[in-house]
Amino acid sequence: MKLTAAWALLIGASLTACQEPASNDSAAPPEHPAFTRVRQESPSGDPRVIAMMRAANKQLKARGLHIALESIEYFTLGKGRPSDRLHQFDSRWVPNDPNRLALGTSLRFLIATNRGSTSSGLTAAQTAAAIRAAVTTWGATRQLRNVPLVERPYVAGHDFTLFDDLFFGGKFDDFPNEDANIFYADIVEAGFLPRAFFDSLAGGPDGGANIIGFTPSFVFTDADGNPVDLNGDNYADVALSESYLNDTFGDPNAPDRKGFPWGIDVNLPGIDVQSIALHENGHAFEIGHFGPPPRAVMNPVYEGLLQAPRPTDRASLSTLWSSWPHR
């Protein structure tokens, strides 16, 4: 994906309810206070991943963008991996945030159907339906009743992801020369990528064998690269979130993972798309990992079919979203 100073896409296929003004993503954001509770980095996680995150943020700053990669959360089969974070503070979505061209108090999500099919035989239509069900399951909870979730249509031939371009120079990007508006949606379901993509994030060959999916989150920054807090709630402001799924599961050419195929409404050894998407979108809704015990959607290790939030998941949602949109 080529990032330029003129990223706005005037896309006629947009939902009528989602019409937005054209954007200039490289322009300086409105004046707002820097996030002051923690000004210096205090990273945690895999040092190799932290180094890659810092390098990605240097790219973002060099391009004149006022966003930075803040965290990566991995969901695994087998041994869990630590979350990788650059600061020890929480971040929150800001309602009506002009920096991300917010559609009022709603959050917009996009399912990238160009990478929706799997090596295990699922079609893009099947996986999109399962991912959509996961998003709307969160949206149907009492805790998110004040957060309208609006699906943005995928537009063929366009790319709306940022993370894959930053880390790998377009190697895993379907449209490396395509301009894109990264604020077309707040949450991007980026689809299924090859194992090499996950190996590259895990510190060496075969590192992606157990990573089923992961979610990177970005925050807004000031001119010096400090996270910002537009609404003064003492949390860094979320800019965007993307989720990636590992296509090595069920790949007939992956001897160690062909017996764990992606499927629909399946339990282990199958990998259920909706269960994984529910977990990854929990991160998009700002929930971190916890447990087990008890068993919950947001446990860091996959334990089989689980398509609805458990009490601990809902308790976390209540803490995070009870004040929306009055943050």
Task: Please report, for residues 46, 233, 268, 322, 323, the alpha-carbon distance to residue 144 in angstroms, rounded to integers and kept in the order given.
Answer: 32, 19, 30, 8, 10
| Phi and psi, residue 218, nearest 5° | -115, 150
Would you state the pLDDT for residue 13?
Answer: 33
Residue 8 pLDDT > 60, yes or no?
Answer: no
Does pLDDT of 279 surpass 80?
yes
21: pLDDT strictly greater than 50: no
**Is 35 within the bounds of a domain?**
yes
Residue 201: predicted pLDDT:
80
- pTM of this prediction? 0.88
pLDDT at 269: 97
110 assigned to some structural domain: yes
Under 8 Å CB-to-CB from 69, ≥6 apart: which residues? Answer: 53, 56, 57, 60, 86, 163, 166, 216, 217, 218
Q: Is residue 140 part of a domain?
A: yes
Query: What's residue 205's pLDDT?
Result: 57
Chain centre to alpha carbon of residue 28: 23
In a domain, 4, yes or no: no
**pLDDT for 152-170, tens place per residue?**
999 888 888 889 888 766 6
Residue 319 has pLDDT above 80, yes or no: yes
Top-confidence residue, 48 or 238: 238
Distance (Å, whole) CA 297 – CA 275: 8
Q: Is residue 33 part of a domain?
A: yes
- Domain total for the chain? 1
What pLDDT does 67 receive?
95
At 297, the pLDDT band (50, 70, 90 cuts) reads very high
Residue 252 has pLDDT above 60, yes or no: yes
- Domain at 186, CATH number: 3.40.390.10
What is the mean predicted confidence (pLDDT) over 67-76? 95
Tell me, yes or no, whether 86 lies in a domain. Answer: yes
Residue 272 resides in a domain: yes
**Domain coverage including residue 304:** 16-321
The answer to whether 67 and 239 have CB atoms below 8 angstroms apart is yes
In a domain, 3, yes or no: no
pLDDT of residue 229: 93
% of the chain exceeding 70 in pLDDT: 83
> Burial, 311: exposed, middle or buried (Cβ in 10 Å; 0-12, 13-18, 19+)?
exposed
